[in-house]
């Protein structure tokens, strides 16, 4: 009996933890943060690598799933544009030695809801087609893999352009601070590099 309960808990744990992880992701995504060069560079490199692997996977999936690569590229483009809008809507707070930003709550909520809606729709569609469709329908098309790739690409494109924008803002902020100090005649601060 304990083994059966453990097996049931193992199966149900991801179902229970997905909504919790989405709420926690939203809270973390809307928090005020200090823009740091090394964090932006690390996140940009990680998202760029993820995007490269994602597009490669979508190209391979295109062999079996119609429109997988095209939908993924369109989602990536849409997410990139959404990230630029996110940079414009973010609240930026400049100080002489730091730059803080707070992402727009509504935009972070929209990106989170895109992922949530795609997960729920894929599960519903897979369940519906499994129960009602003829046997020749594949599970890959039943779950709507091309649409899921597009939703995932929106998230990747959003964060790719957002982190690129943060890096760029940090550089502008560092240059403006150096120019300001030079104009008032004070010596430059030792730790005002954009990679700090």
pLDDT tens digits for range 67-109: 889 999 999 999 999 999 999 999 999 887 888 999 999 988 8
The tokens describing 104, both together, are 């727009």
Cα gap 180→144, rounded to integer Å? 54
Say what angle helices 105-132 and 68-89 make with each other, to 10 degrees. Answer: 160
pLDDT per residue as tens digits for the range 123-132: 777 677 666 6
What's the whole-model pTM score?
0.75
Name the band, by pLDDT with cuts 50, 70 and 90, for residue 196.
very low
Q: For the range 68-74, what are the long-range contacts, defined as Cβ-Cβ under 8 Å and sequence gap of 24 or more?
A: 68/145, 68/146, 68/149, 71/146, 71/147, 71/149, 71/150, 71/153, 72/146, 72/149, 72/150, 72/152, 72/153, 73/153, 74/150, 74/153
Q: Residue 102: which H helix or E strand, with range?
A: strand 99-102
Q: In the numeric block, which tokens belong to residue 5?
A: 């309960």
Whose tokens are 């992922």? That residue is: 115
* Token duo for residue 28: 């973390």
pLDDT bracket for residue 143 (50, 70, 90): low
Tell me the average pLDDT across 116-129: 75
How high is the pLDDT of residue 180?
A: 62
As a whole number, mean pLDDT of residues 35-45 equals 92
């Amino acid at each position: 009996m304990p083994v059966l309960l453990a097996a049931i808990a193992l199966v149900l744990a991801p179902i229970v933890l997905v909504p919790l992880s989405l709420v926690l992701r939203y809270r973390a995504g809307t928090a005020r943060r200090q823009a740091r060069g090394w964090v932006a560079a690390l996140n940009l490199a990680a998202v760029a690598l993820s995007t490269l692997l994602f597009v490669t996977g979508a190209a391979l999936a295109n062999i079996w799933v119609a429109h997988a690569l095209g939908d993924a590229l369109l989602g990536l483009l849409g997410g990139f544009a959404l990230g630029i809008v996110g940079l414009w809507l973010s609240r930026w707070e400049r100080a002489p030695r730091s730059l803080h930003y707070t992402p727009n709550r509504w935009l972070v909520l929209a990106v989170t809801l895109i992922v949530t809606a795609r997960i729920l729709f894929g599960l519903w569609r897979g369940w519906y087609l499994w129960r009602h469709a003829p046997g020749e329908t594949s599970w890959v098309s039943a779950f709507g893999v091309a649409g899921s790739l597009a939703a995932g690409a929106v998230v990747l494109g959003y964060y790719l352009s957002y982190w690129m924008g943060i890096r760029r803002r940090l550089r502008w902020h560092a240059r403006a601070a150096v120019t300001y100090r030079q104009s008032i005649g004070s010596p430059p601060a030792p730790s005002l590099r954009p990679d700090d």
